[in-house]
Amino acid sequence: MNAIAITKTKVDYDVIVIGSGIGGLVTATQLAAKGAKVLVLERYLIPGGSAGYFEREGYRFDVGASMIFGFGTEGTTNLLTRALAAVGMKIETIPDPVQIHYHLPDGLELKVHRHYEKFLQELIAIFPHEAKGIRRFYDQCWQVFNCLNAMDLLSLEEPRYLMRVFFQHPFACLGLVKYLPQNAGDIARRYISDPRLLKFIDMECYCWSVMPASHTPMINAGMVFSDRHYGGINYPKGGVGQIAQKLVEGLEKAGGEIQYKARVSKILLENGKAVGVKLANGKEYRAHRIVSNATRWDTFEKLLPPEQMPASEKRWQQRYQKSPSFLSLHLGVKAEVLPPQTECHHIVLEDWEKMETAEGTIFVSIPTLLDPSLAPEGHHIIHTFTPSWLEDWQGLSPQEYEEKKETAAAKLIHRLEAIFPGLAAGLDYQEVGTPRTHRRFLGRDDGTYGPVPSRKLAGLLGMPFNRTAIDGLYCVGDSTFPGQGLNAVAFSGFACGHRVAVDLGL
């Protein structure tokens, strides 16, 4: 190992990773696999963050969404498969034949089938006059995906890697450069004019980016809209929490360490350089490099003195704002509640004007349709969530808070009975989470699920990479390129691990 000592103080590790979300764990495992001495510090009792799990009365619930990309077997965009393989791990997965069953305004109902042509035919049957535009838009998405899928996805901050990739795949690189400053909505409107179809494409973006197509980078859209047909949606047997559990197992096999109930309260600086961390219990650890898997708001306003925020971070905060958190219901229901041929994932919206408002769009996951072992026999899990802002849940007495939760849950269940008649009567278990819950257990500022542009930006060009303006400090996760989503944060973990390894001389 060629790491250089940075202070005369004893250095405990090569790299400390703050937080064990998927981005942090992929960074840690990539570095451990290269021989780095790595410590992951996790504030909670288990790893995974919003990709974690919890158990109640015989149910194993996923904390966040269960629509998982990145478990394919071909190409290079199967990042979860590759991350696990780097530390000798793999997970059995169950393929999902349909990504989403949409229930949208004006009776717009359709399924995004894993089979690409079947999806196109169903969409064209609803919008026959836009058949050519539909094919041209989604074909553009495939062009983006094929460029990404031709190359190893590592750090775009590393010049030698960029040169190597360019010489190996010049046409793929030039293709991506063309799409970098573009958003999906710009390209959709180039080929499609039907306002209702354009609203559908807005929802196609919103369901994973929490932004309409006009604000969703085309690079991200190309990845999602194509990989759902290429690598597909694959659910990890035993629940989403298995991904983090297996990454931790691989990390420890490779010589890395993880500590739980280890809440980092401060990043230590010496001469402007990040050299270690301090825990809430006063214990300190030193390392050559520090990686923060916290949000950028938590990193630069809480773990570091906010008055010393670098100018680059101030500029970033002007371009990006926090996405909403969620009101979430984890439900255990009797199996007869679900109609025959029910799909695993649904999106419900009754009014296009409310797509982006609090409690407008409803997301539904029923993972037990793929893995029945997650619930008691004769029962299913319905995990449903809808955007919600922290300020709507502040300033309440404990009794008012509980009453508001119950009222919001009842309203959500009533709306879901449009597709699941008898849902309220079939409830066996209910747990309600709010933005306050997400802030408390996930340690994310305002419970946010990541940054979204505060105004229309040029594609991905405004999204920061892993290095920060503070020497020795890196960020990873949804606050970095390429943004939100499990496969996206895995990408950021590969990129961060690669950049840190180069900087350490590994």
| 92 residue type, one letter | E
**CATH class belonging to 13-91+236-321+446-504:** alpha beta
Length of the chain: 506
What are phi and psi for residue 204, nearest 5 degrees?
-55, -35
448, 326 contact by CB (below 8 A): no
Please tell me the distance from the alpha carbon of residue 183 to that of residue 456, in angstroms, as a whole number. 9
Residue 336, token pair as written in the block: 């007869």
Please tell me the distance from the alpha carbon of residue 189 to that of residue 196, in angstroms, as a whole number. 12
What pLDDT tens digit does each residue of the chain (506 aa) get? 344 444 446 789 999 999 999 999 999 999 999 999 999 999 988 888 877 888 899 999 988 888 888 888 887 788 899 999 999 999 999 999 999 999 999 999 999 999 999 999 999 999 999 999 999 999 999 988 887 777 666 556 555 655 565 556 666 666 677 777 889 999 999 999 999 999 999 999 998 888 899 988 888 888 899 999 998 999 999 999 999 999 999 999 999 999 999 999 999 999 999 999 999 999 999 999 999 999 888 999 999 998 888 888 888 888 887 778 889 999 999 999 999 899 999 999 999 999 999 999 999 999 999 999 999 999 999 999 998 888 989 999 999 999 999 999 999 999 999 999 999 999 999 999 898 888 877 777 777 777 777 666 555 556 788 999 999 999 999 888 777 777 888 989 999 999 999 999 98
The strand order across the sheet containing 379-388 reads 108-113, 98-104, 345-348, 362-365, 379-388, 325-334, 427-433
Residue 381: strand pairing partners: 332
Per DSSP, 465 falls in state: -
Dihedral (CA of 142, 143, 149, 155) sign: negative
* Extents of the domains making up the chain: 13-91+236-321+446-504, 117-233, 324-443
The whole model's pTM is what?
A: 0.87
For residue 81, count other CB atoms closer than 10 A to its CB.
Answer: 21
Residue 379: strand pairing partners: 334
